[in-house]
Structure 1
């Protein structure tokens, strides 16, 4: 099967193919709020507050938003929460948690119908019609902050005028390496979570509306490799003459060339003869975002990376993919990779959205 697929490094950007460290987003106007002592903090619309990082002010959400739970594991020594900021944009509201330390924080973010304090187990009063639980992991207790690092000591609730989605952010507590917050929203909205660096920040974007003009996933195909997936109406899929069937998807008709790694699919699938934790091994220098998830009940990781220019793609080329564990084959572990690449011939933003929606329909048909 592998003879017809792009090489693992070229197709995945997951194993030593070279990629550049994530650049900081460019500054753009925003509204900000930072914590101060008291019951509620607010901030006016207009210029950023003192100490606000310009990188918090990009105009696009940090990832492709949806309503599914998002999680990423922290690594290394616990880090200190040093600031919490709120911002508002035309299409989304933003929450920023700034961190300090040598480790890497993780997160667990998802909707809950019963917000409970992690310390007492008692209900937490959260304004709004929907509650998004936000837990930061690998977090140090304030008293364990390194010398010269001031832990955040903000209010019980944070608000910012002019938000379209966020009513208030409610602080719970830091306990056993977990810092818990609850975001009160006007209703259940799509959200995106990601990690920015220099300084380290976890960003949660709350999106007012889904993108318009979404093409329904009206077609479905099944691969003999052991999976089935739906894809957009009007898109083409390869027939299996050169590459295994149901592994190349594009909005226009295409031909898979023989004997080349040329990328012809806007979304591509491949099966790698390795375990999922090996294929999706973290790479802090290349990872832009990564979230642990499940696909059809199986362990999976969603990864966004950026090329360093050492493989087939120029430096700065972004890649988004899902790495999904499959049942073992006759020769051992197998992992499905479904991905899209930011190449000139493709609409990368659209393809990432299509990729996320396609993976939601993915079914593993091979038996354990």
Structure 2
């Protein structure tokens, strides 16, 4: 009986020590998902361009889903933020989107050339790029190109952290890139 009591006391002491070790770690020491340190507040770069939008494409990565805007010339500015509802440029009509949260993605570049001819020709304005099977993206839909700005609605699974940046190339073109994390 004494041996059972000793074992129970030892197990209790071990459980107490483990609890102290787990709770003693500072809250900030736990790394974020995949080491990402992004947030969910709006991001913007106010620089515009006359380079036209030529394509929108998407990709899946281990820790995030990616949306890329290809431009025919030097990199452009952008404004990306979570909204209650994405609206069409010019008219303000709502853009129907699937998902638990919605990002309004405005790229400060037209989707037409100087003669007014379209430079981006989506096959389906409600599904600009196929995102079936993506972890975060639910739908990418056209919201218009008006007065030198092109807007897209991005439906995502939930309000998740994101980042936006620009890249030069390929060639004389450039890209605006939006990554949305799979988790916090």
TM-score by length of 1: 0.37
Q: Secondary structure at the match of 2:54?
A: strand
Which structure has more relative contact order (CA 8 Å, sep 6+)? It is 2
The match for 1:173 is 144
The match for 1:186 is 157
The match for 2:63 is 91
Q: CA RMSD in A?
A: 2.4
Q: Which runs of 5+ in 2 are unaligned?
A: 1-33
The match for 2:38 is 65
- Contact between 1:82 and 1:98, CA under 8 Å: does it hold in 2? yes
Distance, in Å, in 2 between the alignment partners of 1:99 and 1:204 is 14
The match for 1:136 is 107
The match for 2:183 is 209
Provide closer, same or farther for how the CA distance between residues 159 and 150 of structure 1 changes in structure 2, counting only shifts above 3 A: same
Distance, in Å, in 2 between the alignment partners of 1:144 and 1:64 is 40
Provide closer, same or farther for how the CA distance between residues 132 and 104 of structure 1 changes in structure 2, counting only shifts above 3 A: same
Any idea what the Cα deviations from partners look like across 1:293-338, whole Å, max 9, x if unmatched? xxxxxxxxxxxxxxxxxxxxxxxxxxxxxxxxxxxxxxxxxxxxxx
Q: How does 1:277-288 map to 2 (within 5 A)?
A: none
Q: How does 1:326-365 map to 2 (within 5 A)?
A: none
**2:50 equivalent to 1:78:** yes
Give the counterpart of 1:151 among 119, 136, 143.
119
The match for 1:235 is none
Q: How does 1:1-368 map to 2 (within 5 A)?
A: 64-75=37-48, 77-101=49-73, 103-137=74-108, 139-144=109-114, 151-154=119-122, 155-156=124-125, 157=127, 158-199=129-170, 200-210=174-184
Runs of 4+ in 1 over 3 A off after TM superposition: none
Provide closer, same or farther for how the CA distance between residues 207 and 145 of structure 1 changes in structure 2, counting only shifts above 3 A: farther
TM-aligned CA deviation for residue 104 of structure 1: 3.2
Distance, in Å, in 2 between the alignment partners of 1:191 and 1:87 is 15
| Number of positions where the alignment pairs a residue of Structure 1 with one of Structure 2 | 145
Q: Secondary structure at the match of 1:142?
A: coil
TM-aligned CA deviation for residue 162 of structure 1: 2.2
Distance, in Å, in 2 between the alignment partners of 1:161 and 1:122 is 26
Provide closer, same or farther for how the CA distance between residues 166 and 145 of structure 1 changes in structure 2, counting only shifts above 3 A: farther
Provide closer, same or farther for how the CA distance between residues 142 and 174 of structure 1 changes in structure 2, counting only shifts above 3 A: same
Q: Secondary structure at the match of 1:151?
A: coil
Q: Which runs of 5+ in 1 are unaligned?
A: 1-59, 211-368
